[in-house]
Amino acid sequence: MQLLVGLGNPGPRYAGNRHNVGFMAVEAIARRHRIGPWRRRFRGVTAEGPVNGERVLLLLPETYMNDSGLAVGEAAHFYKIDVGNIVVFHDEIDLPPAKVRVKTGGGNAGHNGLRSISSHVGNDYRRVRIGVGHPGAKELVYPYVLSDFAKAERPWVEAVCDIIADNVVMIVRGEDSSFQNKLHLAMQAKGFGNVLGPGEPEAE
């Protein structure tokens, strides 16, 4: 079994936040693969089901972002899921909007959700980093990620979540590079190849 975790904060107040794009991606996976119903356990909500024959557990922690590791640790311990079979979907300010990169381990780049998970299960889990752009100054990061996506951003947000859901079987199979390339090409095909965020200059 693989554990697919979406990061975010619980409740309607945060539902549209940039910080919640991990929740959005995993919810899209559940819809696309008809995984459900959602159940409250492991300090979050979970759903179990197959992705192309592979059993997965979807988890949305309800601990608030900074304590995400409590939920991930409980679920991983209960099912004896190795850290290498944990995949975390999260917002990434160091990537331009709509860009998606996959990596295993590495630093947490100031992301408190990742820091919490690493403290509970170790650092060698896989991360699907969903770019939301950078506001341009360090002091603006906190209010930026806790603000809703702008209306103009919502089309690419929906597109990237749907494309992640359509191709998540590659992640489940460990085909991270193929997944990343497929997403890039699919987003370009939908016209989202050059999305710009706050503080990003136009290409000359």
Task: Give the model's pLDDT for residue 194.
Answer: 65
196 in a structural domain: no
Whole-Å CA distances, 192 to 23, 32, 36, 157, 184: 21, 21, 30, 10, 9
Task: Give the model's pLDDT for residue 191.
Answer: 87
199 in a structural domain: no
Task: Give the model's pLDDT for residue 199.
Answer: 43
> CATH number for the domain including 179?
3.40.50.1470
Q: Please list the pLDDT of the chain residue by residue as tens digits (204 residues).
A: 999 999 999 999 999 999 999 999 999 999 999 999 999 999 999 999 999 888 999 999 999 999 999 999 999 999 999 999 999 999 999 999 999 999 998 887 778 899 999 999 999 999 999 999 999 898 999 999 999 999 999 999 999 999 999 999 999 999 999 999 999 999 999 888 666 444 444 333
90 in a structural domain: yes
Task: Give the model's pLDDT for residue 52.
Answer: 85
Strands of 75-166 (E only): list them. 86-92, 100-104, 126-131
Taking only Cα atoms into account, the Rg of the chain, rounded to an integer number of angstroms, comes to: 16
Count up the domains in the chain and report the number. 1
Dist. CA 29–CA 195, nearest whole Å? 23
- Active-site residue set: 19
Dist. CA 116–CA 119, nearest whole Å? 5
Q: Tokens for 9, please give them.
A: 């904060």
For residue 96, give its domain range.
2-189
200 in a structural domain: no
Specify the pTM: 0.92
